[in-house]
Amino acid sequence: MHERSLPASPNWYCSRCSDVSSTGVLGVGAKNIIYLVEVCASSCRVSGELVGHKGLVSGFSFCQHAGQNHLCVSSSNDGNIRFWDSDSKTLIREHTAHQSPVSAVHWSPLDKNLVVSGDEKGIVVCHWYNTGDTSSFFPEPRTIFCLTCSPHTWSCVAVGYKDGMIVLIDVSKKGEVLHRLRGHDDEIHSLAWSPLANEVALFSRPEDSEATNGIATGEERGCYLASGSKDQTVRVWSTAKGKAVMTMKLPYLKKRGSAVDPGVKERLWLHVHWPKGRPTQLVSSCFSGELVLWDLTKTGKHRWSLFGSSSEGQNHNRIVFNMSSVQLQDGRELLISTSMDREVKCWDLSSLDCCWTLPTLGGFVYALTFSPVGAGCLALGVGDNMIRVWNTLTTQNQYDTRTFWQGIKSKVTALAWHPKREGSLAFGTDDGKVGIYEVFSNKPPQISSSYHRKTVYTLAWGPPVPPMSFGAAGGKSSHSLYSCAGEGVILQHDPSNLSGEASDIDTLIKDTNNIKHKLSPHTDLRWKPDGKVVAIGNEDGCIDVYEAPSLRLLCSIQQHHKIINTLRWHHDHSAASELHFLLASGSSNAIVYVHDLRSVIENPPESPAVLTEPYRRLCGHTNKITSMAWSPHHDARLVTVSYDGTAQVWDVLQEEAVSNYRGHVGYLLSVDWSPVDPDVIWTGGKDFTLQEWRVSKQEFTKPPKGKKTVDLLEKVKANPKLKRKNKKSSGAAGATPPPPEMNGESVRGGEKTGQEPSDEDEKDEVSSTNSSIPPSAALEPYRRPAAAVKSKDKADLLKRKKPRSMLPVSTSMDHRPKDELLQDCITLASVKHSEATPAGCVPGQGEHIHLGLFTDRQALHRMFEAEEESHVEAGHFETVVYLRLWSGDLEGALQLATEKGELNDHLISIAPMAGFEVWSRTVEAYVKQLCLQEQYLKASSHLLSINKLYEGVDLLRSHKLYREAIALVKARLPEDEPVLKELYTVWASALERDGHFSAAAKCYVAAGASFDAAKVIARKNDVPSLRTAAILARISGETALAQSLALRCAKDLAAAQDWVPAQEVLSSQDSLLVHRLHLCVAELLSAVLAPVVPQSCVSSHTWTRTMMMTSPPGERRVRLQDRVRGVWKQQFGVSQDSAGHHSVRALLQELKSAESPTPTASVPLRQVLLYSSLHLTRSVLSWLSDDDDDDEQVMKELWRSVSWFRDSGNFSVSAEICRMLFPEGDVGVCSRKQHIEGEEEEKEGGEKEKGEEEAAADSLQAFVLQHRLYERWWSLSADTQRVPNGDEAKEDEAENGASSSSSSSSSSSGRSVDDKLDFDASPLLSERHAACQAAQRSVREIQERLSSMVLQHSSRAQGEQLDADVSSSSSSSVTAAESRETSEAGERPAETLLSLSVKMSEYQKHLADFPQMIKMFPHPDVVECCLVVLHLSKSSSSVSESMRHEAKSLLRKYGTSPSVLKASQSFLTEPEPVTVTQ
C-alpha cells in the first residue's frame, strides 16, 4: 500500500458523510469511495479505501458498539446501502430497498443491529444487520435531508426535512409519528441528540424551566434534540413537550478585510454536533467555516466561544459540512470537521485549538513535479482550479501544504518548476492560460497575455530561440517558457515580460528548415537537460528532434502510430554518458519506446534522419501512456503511468518490469520520482488522490492483463474486419478496452477505465464533491487529436435522437428488399419516359406512394395526403400542419393547428399571407391557447398585432397584471383615457388589500384621487406616514384632510415629547395656529412639571429652555399664564391686539371645537398633560379676549385644567400646577375684571345659587387652599414620610390619631407666634358640601351592597334562597344615625333587596335637592380637611378655636366611615364640643 497520500475531498451538502469510530478511525465519503484515516492527537494517516459504490457516497456511519466498532455502513445516491468491514476493507452485505437516492444513514448508538436510512422521496428504511431484513416506512411526503437515531430509546428516530419540518418517529410501531417539531422555515441540515437521557441539564436557564414547568415526571421523560437549519438558527427541542425550548441565532463573524456576501444564506450549511459527556455544550458550524461552541447555560455574547481563536489561520475558510468526535485512550476528546475548503481538521475540544489539518483534492491530479532547486517541494496541478505545494520533507507537519488559487479560473493541467530560480512555478490551465507563481511570496501570479485556444498540456523551461533575444548579460532570464496546448501550437513566453506577445515556434521551424507544408499539430515537447536539443511530439505519432537555437531538424522518430502523450530525456548526471542521450516516449498505444539519439546529436546529419526502430521497447501496459519519469537515483530506471490504472517501474536496459503499483482506482495521469529517496514514487490520477509508495514493497511486477483484453486480441487476429470496425467506432466513440485488475481481482466499474473519458467521467470530476452545484465544462485529461475532437462531435450528433420524419410512409418504402427497389427504378423510368403509365401504377398512392417524390406535382400532393393520414393516426398534428403549409394550403394548415392547439409563433408570422380575416382569427385562437398555458403577456402582445388594444388591456387586468396593463395603456393611448384611471384605481385597491400602502397611494395620485392617496398612507398610523399623508393632502389641495392628518401627526409627536417636529408639522398649515399654541402650552407645562414628574424629552424649543433658565423651580411669583402669554406674543405673534387669522376671538372659537374626554385614572400622564394644556390654552385665550362671555370662561377652563390632574390620581402634580397658576394663592387675580370678591360666610338655605364662573372659582380656590393646608401640615409633621392621597390620608390619620392626641399638650406648649396660617382655611369647612359628599358616599355604599348581593345571588345554585344576611358584606353604615343604632343594637338588622332599593331612592332624592353648582364644581373632601385642621391644631397655634369646634361638629355629623371614626375618636372625646353653624 501507499505510505502517505492526499485523499479526495469529502462530498459536499451531505448531512453525515463522515464519521469516526471509537478506535480512532475516520471514514470519509469522497466521490464513490470511502477513505479510512487513522487519527490521533498529533497526526493522521490514510490507511485504506472502501471501493464499490457506483454513485456518490451520500452517508456514512460507524457502529459504535464494543466488538462491532470495525463495522460501518454507507449510502449512495444510486439507492444502495452497503455494510463494510473497515479492518479487512471488504464488503459484507448490500441492501437495495431504496428506489431513490439515499440522503441520510445512521447506525443506532443503542441497538447494535439497527441501521436507519432515508431517501429523497421521504421513505425511511430500517436495516437489521444480524438478519439482513429490512422494513420501510413513509412518515411524511417530504424530502429527507438528515436523520439520527436516539441514543436513549432504540425505536425513536428524528428525521429532518427540506422544508424545515422535524419529525420524531417510532420504528417499532411502523413509523408512527410521535411529534412534529415546527419552527424552522428552511432546510434541516443536521440533528443531534443530547448525551443525557433526560431534560434536566438545561433547567438552570429560566426559559427552559418555564417550558417544562420545572418538573420532569416519569410520564414526560424525554431527551433534548438539537437541530441546525439553513434559516441560520440552531434550536434545542424538548421531546417530552414536543416544542422548542431554545433558539440560537448564528453570530456573524466578519473576517478581516472581507465584505458582506449577499449570498451567504444560499451557501450556508449549519451542522450541529453534541459531544459525548458535554450535555451543556453544543458545537455548530457558522457562515464562513468557523466552528462555534455554545454554552447552553449562558446568554448573550458569553454564550458562545470560537474555535481556533488563539491564533489566526486555524479555522476553515468555507462552510463546514460534517463534524464527529472521538475520545482517545489518554482522555483527550477530538473533533473532526470537513469543509468546502477541501480540508479535514482535527480540534482539541478542551483548548478549542486545531491539532492538525489534512488537505484533500477536489479534482483529477493532472500534473505533479518536484522542484529541482528546493528539495522535497512537490507541486500539484489539480482539477479543482488550485495548485498545491507540499513540503514533503518537513518533520513537524507531515501535510505542510500551501494552496494557490488566485488568477486561476479553471483546472490546472500543466506545471513546470524553473530549473534555476527557487520557488518560480509555471502553470497552465484548461482554459488556455499560462502563468508563473512565486510560491514563497504572497503576490498574485503573473499571467501571460498570450492565451491558447484549448487546454495547455505541457510546459517546459528551455533556452530562448529567435525571435526573442535573451541573455544573462543583458540582465534578462536565460530561460524561456514554452507551452504546448490542445490546438497543436507551441508558444514561447518571455518570463520577464509576460505581458508581451508570445511567439509561435512553428514560424522559426519553417524558416530554418525551409518547410512549406503545414506542420502536424504538436502535443508535447521536452528540452534536453543541457538545453542543446528539444524533442517535440506530434499528433500523428511522429517525434521531431531539433537543434537549438535555430531549431534545425536533426531527426524524425516514426515509431509510434498514435498521438504522443509524454516525452522524457534521461537525466545528465549519470556516470554513463551514453545514457544522457536516451529519450523515452509514450503515446496512446500501450508501448513505451526508448530512443538512443547519441549519434544524431553528436554528429548532426546534413539532412534530417528518419528513425524507425527504437533502442528499447517496454511492453506491459494495456492502455495509453499518460506520463513518465526517469529515476534521478538510478541509471536507466523509468516509471510510467497509464490508463490501465497502474504505475510501472522499468529497467530500461534490460527491458524488464521491476515493480507494478495498483493502489489507485481509475486511470493515472501524473508521476514523479522522489528526489531524496530512491525507493519512493508519487502518482496521481482520476481518483482525486495523490499517493506515495515504495517500489520495493509492491507485490506485483507487471501490469494486469484482463480476460477481455486477451479475448479481444484473439478476435482481432482471427477476424481483420472486426479490427477495422473497431477502428471506425473508436474514431467516433472511443475504444472499449478491458477493465484492469486490482491486486489480482477485477475492479468494479472498470469498464470505463482505459477508454477516452466519457461525459460522465468528465462531469464526475466537478460534481463528485458537490452534488448540489451544476458541473462546469469538463476537461479531457489527456492529449486528443483535432480529428478526434471532430469525430467526437459527430458521435454526439449520432447519439442524439433523430428528428421525426416528415414523410415516414414514403421513407419506409426505401427499406424493402433490393429486388423491389430495383423494380422501382424501372417503374419510375416508365412513368417519366412512356406515354402510357404501367398498369396499376399511380405515383403517390398505394404501393407507389414513394414515387410521388420523383414525378409531377399532382403525385406529390397525393403522397402528401397519404402522409397526412398517417400522421393524424399517430397524433402528429404539427407535422400535418407543415405538410399542408408546404402544399400551399396555408388556411387549412392554420385551421388544423387551431383545432388541435398546435399554433406557434412561426405559424402566426406567416398567417397574414392567408388574408386579414384568417390572420385575425388565428391570432385570437393563439391568444386563447396562450392563456391556457398561462402566457398572458405574450397573449396580450399578440392582440396588439391585430389592433385589439383594449382586449389586450382587459386580458392583463383580468389576470391581475396591472403594472403591465398600465404601461401598455400609457404607451398606446392618450393621457385622458378613462381606462387608465380605472386601472390605477383597481390596482390601488388590490395593493391596499395586500398592505402595500405606499404603492397604492402612488396609484391613487396617478388616478387623480389625492384624497384616497392621503387616506391610504395614513392607514399605517405612524408618524412618518401621517406626516407624508398630510403633505400629500396639502399639495393636492385637500385642505381639511391635510389639517386633520397634520393634527394627528403632531399629537403623536407631542405624546412622545418630541416638540420640535410637532410644531414643524403644524407650521405648514396656517389654519392650525391655535393647535400650535396648544402644543406650546403643553411643552411649557411639561417643562415646569419636569422637577415633579421627570419625563424623557426627545426635542424641545430654545424658548422653553430659556424660560426654564430665567425661571428657576423655586420661583413662585410669575404665573404660568403670564409666561404663556409672553411666549405666544414673541414666537407666534398672538396677543390681545392680534387681528386677522391671529385674532384671539377666531382662535378661541376654533379651539372650542376640540374635544376633551372625561378624566379617569387610566389615562397616561402624557395624555393628561395634553388634555390639561388644552383647557389652559382656552383659559389664556379667554383672558386675552375682550368679550365678557369669554372672560366668564377663564375660571371654568382653569378649573378643568387643574381637575384633569386631580381626577387622574396625580395629587402631587395637581398641587404643583396650582402653585404655578396661583403663586399668591388667590384665584381671583386670574380674571381680567377681578370681580371675584371674598367669600362670605355660607348660611344654610339663605343664599342664592351661584353662577358657573363663581362656583368654579370657589371650587378652584378651595383646592388651592387644600394644597396649601397639606403643605403646611407636612412641613410641621416631621413624622409623615409619604404623600397622602384621598383615603390614604384618612388611613394615616387613623394610625396617627392616638399619638397626636397624646402629644397635643406638649405640642401646644411649644407653639410659637409665627405658626399662624397666612390664609383663611374656612372655605374648606363648608357644611353644604359636606352634606352633599355624605349623600354621595351613601349612594356609592348602597350601590356596592346591591352589586354584591346580585353577585352572590347569581353564583348560587338554582333553587337556593338568597341569603338575607348581607350585613357582613358592608363595611360601613349609611348614615351617622344608623351607625349609632347599629352600635347600640350590636348587630345590623337583616336587609333585603327591597329595603336597600328604598334607601337608594331616598338618598338620590335627597341628593337631587342640592344645588347643581355644588355637584358640578365640587370642593375637596370636607371630612378629610376637618381631620387635617384638627391635626394641625395640635402642633400649631395657627388654627383658631372656632375653626376647631366647627371641624369637630362636621366630623360628628358626616364622618361615618370606620377609618374616619377611628381617626376622629381622640378629637371627639374632648369635652364641650362647640357647634358651628355655617
Of the candidate ranges 87-96, 286-295, 1176-1185, the one whose mean pLDDT is the lowest: 1176-1185
Quote the CA–CA distance of 1449 and 1467 in Å, as a whole number: 10
Confidence of residue 472 (pLDDT cuts 50, 70, 90): very low
Confidence of residue 1309 (pLDDT cuts 50, 70, 90): very low
Quick one: cell of 657? 518490469
For residue 1117, pLDDT beyond 90: no
Judge contact between 222 and 240, C-beta under 8 A.
yes
Helix 1073-1088 × helix 1211-1221 angle, to 10° = 110
Quick one: cell of 600? 544524431
Quote the CA–CA distance of 1205 and 1197 in Å, as a whole number: 13
Quote the CA–CA distance of 172 and 771 in Å, as a whole number: 33
Strand pairing of 609-611 and 552-557? Answer: parallel
Confidence of residue 1370 (pLDDT cuts 50, 70, 90): very low
List Cβ neighbours of 335 (8 Å cut-off, separation of 6 or more).
273, 275, 283, 291, 323, 324, 325, 346, 347, 348, 349
The per-residue b/e assignment along 941-966, b for 16 or more CB within 10 angstroms, e otherwise, is ebbeebebbeebbebbbebebbebbb
Of all helices (H) and strands (E), which one includes residue 1458?
helix 1458-1468
Asked if residue 549 has a cis previous peptide bond (ω within 30° of 0), the answer is yes
Of the candidate ranges 502-516, 600-614, 1166-1180, the one whose mean pLDDT is the lowest: 1166-1180
Quote the CA–CA distance of 500 and 498 in Å, as a whole number: 5
Residue type, 1315: D
**Strand ranges for 529-614 from DSSP E:** 533-538, 543-547, 552-557, 564-569, 582-587, 592-596, 609-611
Alpha helix (H) ranges present in 959-1088?
A: 962-972, 978-993, 997-1006, 1010-1018, 1023-1035, 1039-1055, 1059-1067, 1073-1088
Quote the CA–CA distance of 1072 and 1045 in Å, as a whole number: 11
Residue 499 DSSP class: T
Judge contact between 983 and 1008, C-beta under 8 A.
no
Average pLDDT over residues 64-78: 94
Q: Name the residue among 492, 404, 411 with its Cα closest to residue 455.
A: 411
CA separation (Å) from 1085 to 1090, 1115, 1129, 1226?
9, 15, 17, 20
For residue 592, pLDDT beyond 90: yes
3-state helix, strand, coil in the chain (%, to 5): 40, 20, 40
Strand pairing of 176-181 and 188-193? Answer: unpaired
Quick one: cell of 1146? 377666531
Average pLDDT over residues 1268-1290: 56
Quote the CA–CA distance of 508 and 467 in Å, as a whole number: 8
Alpha helix (H) ranges present in 83-242?
A: 206-212
The percentage of residues in the chain with a pLDDT greater than 90, rounded to a whole number, is 42
Instruction: Tell me the DSSP string of 384-445.
Output: TTEEEEEETT-SS-TT-EEEE-TT--S-EEEEEE-SSSTTEEEEEETTS-EEEEETTS-PPP
Quote the CA–CA distance of 1366 and 260 in Å, as a whole number: 75
For residue 872, pLDDT beyond 60: yes
H, E, C per residue of 609-646: EEECCCCEEECCCCCCEEEEEECCCCCCEEEEEECCCC
**3-state SS class at 512:** helix
pLDDT for res 1109: 58
Q: Name the residue among 739, 367, 754 with its Cα closest to residue 590.
A: 754
Average pLDDT over residues 426-445: 94
List Cβ neighbours of 1199 (8 Å cut-off, separation of 6 or more).
1256, 1257, 1259, 1260, 1417
Quick one: cell of 702? 507487471
CA separation (Å) from 272 to 229, 277, 315, 572, 1193?
9, 16, 16, 57, 74
Average pLDDT over residues 781-799: 48
Quick one: cell of 206? 429560566
Quote the CA–CA distance of 226 and 151 in Å, as a whole number: 13
Quick one: cell of 696? 520495493
Quick one: cell of 976? 385622458
Average pLDDT over residues 428-453: 94
More confident residue, 1125 or 324: 324
**3-state SS class at 664:** coil
Q: Dmax of the chain from CA atoms? A: 162
For residue 1237, pLDDT beyond 60: no
Cell 449549519 belongs to: 270
More confident residue, 1038 or 56: 56
The per-residue b/e assignment along 54-72, b for 16 or more CB within 10 angstroms, e otherwise, is ebbbbbbbbbbbeeebbbb
Quick one: cell of 150? 436516539
Confidence of residue 595 (pLDDT cuts 50, 70, 90): very high
CA separation (Å) from 563 to 519, 566, 589, 608, 930?
14, 9, 8, 21, 55
CA separation (Å) from 888 to 861, 1146, 1401?
10, 89, 107
Quote the CA–CA distance of 1268 and 1218 in Å, as a whole number: 10
Cell 471514514 belongs to: 27
Average pLDDT over residues 271-289: 92
Mean pLDDT estimate for the chain: 80
Q: Which pTM does this prediction carry? A: 0.55
Residue type, 468: M
For residue 425, pLDDT beyond 90: yes
- Chain mean position to CA 71: 38
Highest mean pLDDT, choosing among 421-425, 747-751, 821-825, 836-840:
421-425
Highest mean pLDDT, choosing among 434-438, 577-581, 888-892, 1194-1198:
434-438
Highest mean pLDDT, choosing among 175-184, 753-762, 1452-1461:
175-184
Considering only CA atoms, give the Rg of the chain.
51
